[in-house]
Amino acid sequence: MKLFKLFAIILPLFALAACSSSPDKGMQEGDVLVEDRGAESAGVDGQGADGEDMGAEAKVVVGEDQYAGNELNDPDSPLSNRTVYFEYDSDVVRNEDQQTLQAHAAYLAENPNLTVRLEGHTDERGSREYNLALGERRALSVRRILMLQGASIDQFQVTSFGEERPAEEGGDEYAWSQNRRVELVYVGR
Amino acid sequence: MFRQWFKLIALLIALVPWPAHALLTIEITGGSEAALPIAIVPFGVEGYAPPENISDIVSNDLASSGRFAPLEKRDLISEPHEGQQVNFQDWRLLRSEGLLIGKISSQDGENYQVQFQLYDVYKAEQLVGKRYNVPASGLRNLAHQISDIVYETLTGEKGVFSTRLAFVSEMKNADGSKRFALQVSDADGANPRTVLQSTQPILSPNWSPDGQQLTYVTFENNKAEVYVQQLSSGRRNSVASFRGLNSAPAWSPDGKKLALTLSKNGNPEIYVLELASGNLSRVTHNSQAIDTEAVWLPNGREILFTSDRGGRPQIYRVNADGGRAERVTFEGSYNASADISPDGRNMAMVHAVNGKFHIAIQDLQTGAVQVLTETTADESPSFAPNGRMILYATEQQGRGVLAAVSVDGRIKQRLGESGSAVREPAWSPFRQ
């Protein structure tokens, strides 16, 4: 345990050192680089808690399913569709996505050991902070439907990235329609 | 009108050598007809040449405010550096109301002695004169301080040239992935320095009232969390990492509390966090609506925030210790991201007209709304600490840029730069 703690503090320090020497390279998902002057104190002055968090979270690969169940990978299964889309400023799941969610709800009910992360997203229009909240509302709307159809509340993690992680770059209707979405990301338990 | 505009641009091109190290540069896209003519004589140099051109920086500062029209260099009749060399009659002929002269000297190239004198040309008297000793590295800051003194002496309002801007940059890596930096620059966009770099987005930087700390939102743990960071040491703390959203932090005027958005109880609500104790109190109670983007009124007792409790996002006002919220915005179907002027009289906000997002200002007494910008993807308005300008984020050819507009809408600046997209600006308080 002690050793782990030590590593949790030292590893981020290495990451920080690597980043400050070549800020353009070597940044890993979840890494954070504080200004040079601060890098030292960020590691040394009682920031162990942050360091541990960073170390722990660096393992999570965002946007990729960690659980590789066969049904999920079968392109003919409705489970292979893991994104649902929304109208502007709306959290209402559209009729054409109901079937997809039914399949996921049934799958989750059959596999109570599975957890899914619901990631809400919005298009770029309007306030970033409002969009962050809207993305969460969309994810919660998807969770509500999945729970109504048999999944249990402890099978979900809900998170929102607002407009910060667009699926499609660009400022046109098509890009916006692709970005107003909730992604279902299966994670193991 | 067009000619004046053209002249101003020509004058800027002639006068302003944009420093190579500047990330952001200021362009005036609209001018003020009431700009005050001022003669800024290139400072005399004795001994080692200074690494910064102080008179050029002051000229750039004053011109960028839109309130001054520095004379073109070639129109300067003479180049006095001391009071006894000034012939006021010459400067009256040029219709210049103010005259700034000075000199800079160094025996070793490390420490510089700088002096300046500002004259009222018509009264033929010195308004202010000062002398400084600074290291070479302090010359740029000193130039901004001189700009502040000239601005305040001639307009009666405090200048903001030695304040700072915080903003978020987004850069693309060679493999197409992105990286994000929270940066702090001088008010003219020069000297940007990175205070935080992350592979994940950074949002909503907000200054502590003493200008020593920033609070912001990061996704570095794959969810929105609120941090507070000391600028001098770089030391930072996670102050809110509850389940759900932790977002939209706003420092209270006394610096002791943060208002922020948490959805730990299932729905985004405004809370107040006491920084010293960690005590948390809930401000809004509307389990159906999004409540977010809190901002404090200068009295420290009331908070404005964005809510869609009426169906669409609008601004509401509530007491910081809770109670009933009242709606503040009634014009238009989308009003969000409020910021309050330092005197508490005006609110800047994002205001949608026909699906286009502009910056608008609302008089909090009368409710009158004025749309200030023609740009159409505007976000995140932030008042200058003297209340004169509003800094905001917008888009130019699909790329994030920063812009500023005066509260009367007459002066428009764009802070262009190269390489990265910038957004989420926050103007610092005055230096203390």
Chain B hits for A29, CB-CB cut-off 8 Å, are: 199-200
Between B188 and B345, residue with greater pLDDT: B345
pLDDT at residue B47 greater than cutoff 60: yes
- Does ipTM come in above 0.85? yes
SS3 at position B371: strand
Of A26-40, B304-318, B394-408, the one with minimum mean pLDDT is A26-40
CB pair distance less than 8 Å for A160 and B224:
yes
Chain B hits for A21, CB-CB cut-off 8 Å, are: none
Contact yes or no for B320/B272 (Cβ under 8 A): yes
Residue closest to B379 by CA, chosen among B219, B66, B167 = B167
Q: Does A126 touch chain B (CB under 8 A)?
A: yes
Separation in Å, CA of A107 to nearest CA in chain B = 25
Separation in Å, CA of B33 to nearest CA in chain A = 33
Do the bridges between strand B421-427 and strand B412-417 make them parallel or antiparallel, or are there none, so unpaired?
A: unpaired
**Summary mean pLDDT of chain B:** 90
Instruction: Give dist(CA B377, CA A78) in Å, integer.
Output: 37
Q: Does A137 touch chain B (CB under 8 A)?
A: yes
Instruction: Give dist(CA B287, CA B211) in Å, integer.
Output: 35
CB pair distance less than 8 Å for B336 and A130:
yes
Q: At which residue do the structure tokens 């009264």 appear?
A: B123
Q: Report the pLDDT value the prediction gives residue B25, as an integer from 0 to 100.
A: 52
Three-state SS letters, A11-76: HHHHHHHHHHHCCCCCCCCCCEEECHHHHHHHHHCCCHHHHHHHHHHCCCCCCCCCCCCHHHHCCC
Name which CATH class applies to A70-187: alpha beta
Q: Report the pLDDT value the prediction gives residue A40, as an integer from 0 to 100.
A: 29
Burial of B346 from C-beta contacts in 10 A (0-12 / 13-18 / 19+) = buried
CB pair distance less than 8 Å for B292 and A129:
yes
CB pair distance less than 8 Å for A132 and B198:
no
Burial of B43 from C-beta contacts in 10 A (0-12 / 13-18 / 19+) = buried
CB pair distance less than 8 Å for A133 and B195:
no
> CB count, 10 Å around CB of A163?
23
Q: Report the pLDDT value the prediction gives residue A23, as an integer from 0 to 100.
A: 37
Which bin fits B355, alpha (ψ -120 to 50), beta or left (φ > 0)? left
Contact yes or no for B401/B137 (Cβ under 8 A): no
Instruction: Give dist(CA B140, CA B132) in Å, integer.
Output: 13
Nearest CB to A127 within list B194, B232, B379? B379
- The per-residue pLDDT for range A56-103, each reduced to its tens digit, is 332 333 344 555 556 777 888 888 899 999 999 999 999 999 999 999
Residue B390: beta bridge partners?
B383, B405
Q: How confident is the model at residue B28 (pLDDT cuts 50, 70, 90)?
A: low
Amino acid at A188: G
Chain A hits for B219, CB-CB cut-off 8 Å, are: 161, 164
CB pair distance less than 8 Å for A49 and B204:
no
Residue closest to A133 by CA, chosen among B212, B294, B352, B423 = B294
Q: Report the pLDDT value the prediction gives residue A43, as an integer from 0 to 100.
A: 26
What is the pTM for the complete model shown? 0.84
Q: At which residue do the structure tokens 């205001």 appear?
A: B351
Phi first, then psi: give them for residue B22, nearest 5 degrees: -75, 130
- Closest-CA residue of A relative to B244 is A159
The residues of chain A that CATH labels 3.30.1330.60 are 70-187
Q: At which residue do the structure tokens 């009431």 appear?
A: B34
Q: Does A47 touch chain B (CB under 8 A)?
A: yes
Instruction: Give dist(CA B346, CA B425) in Å, integer.
Output: 19
Q: Does A161 touch chain B (CB under 8 A)?
A: yes
Query: A-contacting residues of B 69-128, CB under 8 Å?
Result: none
Close Cβ partners of B418 (under 8 Å, ≥ 6 residues apart):
none
- The per-residue pLDDT for range B147-160, each reduced to its tens digit, is 999 999 999 999 99
SS3 at position A153: helix
Contact yes or no for A36/A156 (Cβ under 8 A): no
Amino acid at A151: A
- The per-residue pLDDT for range B339-361, each reduced to its tens digit, is 999 999 999 999 999 989 999 99
Q: Does B225 touch chain A (CB under 8 A)?
A: no
Close Cβ partners of A172 (under 8 Å, ≥ 6 residues apart):
none
pLDDT at residue B190 greater than cutoff 90: no
Kindly list the structural domains of chain B, giving each domain's residue range(s) and its CATH number in brackets, ordered by start: 2-155 (3.40.50.10070), 164-427 (2.120.10.30)
Q: How confident is the model at residue B77 (pLDDT cuts 50, 70, 90)?
A: confident
CB pair distance less than 8 Å for B235 and A132:
no
- Report the half-sphere exposure of B286 (CA within 13 A, side-chain side): 22
pLDDT at residue B427 greater than cutoff 90: yes
Q: Does B352 touch chain A (CB under 8 A)?
A: yes
- Diameter over CA atoms, chain B: 73
Instruction: Give dist(CA B103, CA B117) in Å, integer.
Output: 9
Q: Report the pLDDT value the prediction gives residue A171, as an integer from 0 to 100.
A: 87
- The per-residue pLDDT for range B215-248, each reduced to its tens digit, is 999 999 989 999 999 999 999 999 999 999 999 9
Secondary structure letter of residue B377 according to DSSP: B
**Summary mean pLDDT of chain A:** 74
Round the CA-based radius of gyration of chain B to a whole number and report it.
23
Separation in Å, CA of B293 to nearest CA in chain A = 7
Residue A147: beta bridge partners?
none
Amino acid at B222: N
- Closest-CA residue of B relative to A32 is B198
Across the A:B interface, residue pairs with CB atoms under 8 Å apart total 153
Chain B hits for A133, CB-CB cut-off 8 Å, are: 245, 247, 261, 263, 268, 290, 292
